[in-house]
Homo-oligomer: A and B are copies of this chain.
């Protein structure tokens, strides 16, 4: 059985394709169920017979963003866990391929501990915040989206000067996606001119100083800011906050910052919030990301057949000058309990840009970002 859990990504269907294709290569697996809408599909016994699907249809879905199976954010409490186990037993499920981020890996770990079903996690998050893996399928495409968005908004901002633009970037508490906007630049003065990381607090005075300095020098300014950025009081600058169990997550951070810049610096400012487009648009597919998502699906089936359980597939970057990757595994429980912050050594001393070590890490993942010629 395979399921999706948490927010869709543009390449999660490629992992599904990998699971189905690898399953077909192993005669001992005679049936493959896809749960519709994640855990809900198990609870409602709403399944798709994936081996009966027309392979052309599956390939077409694999090239599409969002989740073809459907997904869910349902929390697995004790009662839900018992209900899941009952269905898995009654269906005779031997292997469960659990596609998700760190919250999902926690649920997968608990199912693994409580049942004889072999559980393999397939990493899936645009946030890139899982430990034990070089990166996560979904990150490269979303990162490419935001790098291209920063390039495009930068081209607009340069052509029509006199404005400060805030781009709100996904990523919750970690700076992996906002950092990727640095790949929009060809020249040092290209957008984004300032990049902030939610791993450190950003005093409002520092933000205003930075914007003022850039604007005075260039006459325009593009700022990339993560949706989870907090100020010196660990608050989101007075933005509205989404009801959430963890730390406050703003719903309109970039807008709030544009208002503050307008008010305090008397500059014309506006905000862009591409929002879910970054995880739902196929316009910026990273082919490498798609290939690796598929690879992770295949590796999950091979790991299960080889007798592994309670692990998540990881991507390990091979040492050497050319980018290459191989799959490994890490225990579900250790992945589930941790969030991988954007490394401090990849942020500059002023806390408003990346270092070149991050560019070396990210460039092979995002692929070529085309730059626009100028007159």
Contacts and interface: CB of A to CB of B under 8 A. Distances in A.
Interface of A: 4, 7-8, 34, 37, 48, 53, 57-58, 60-61, 64-73, 148-149, 152-153, 155-156, 158-162, 165, 240, 242, 251-252, 255, 258-259, 270-277, 279-284, 372-375
Nearest to A145: B283
Give the number of times this chain occurs in the complex, counting copies.
2
Contacts of A69: 159, 375
Given A251-B255, A273-B271, A61 B374 contact: yes
6 contacts: A7-B160, A8-B160, A48-B375, A67-B160, A251-B255, A277-B277
A58 B373 CA distance: 9
Given A61-B373, A153-B280, 11 more contacts: A34-B375, A66-B158, A66-B159, A67-B159, A70-B161, A149-B281, A152-B277, A251-B259, A272-B274, A272-B275, A272-B276
A217 B63 CA distance: 29
A152 B276 CA distance: 9
Given A66-B159, A68-B374, A372-B65, A255 B240 contact: yes
B156 A64 contact: no
A284 B273 CA distance: 18
A252 to B, nearest CB: 4
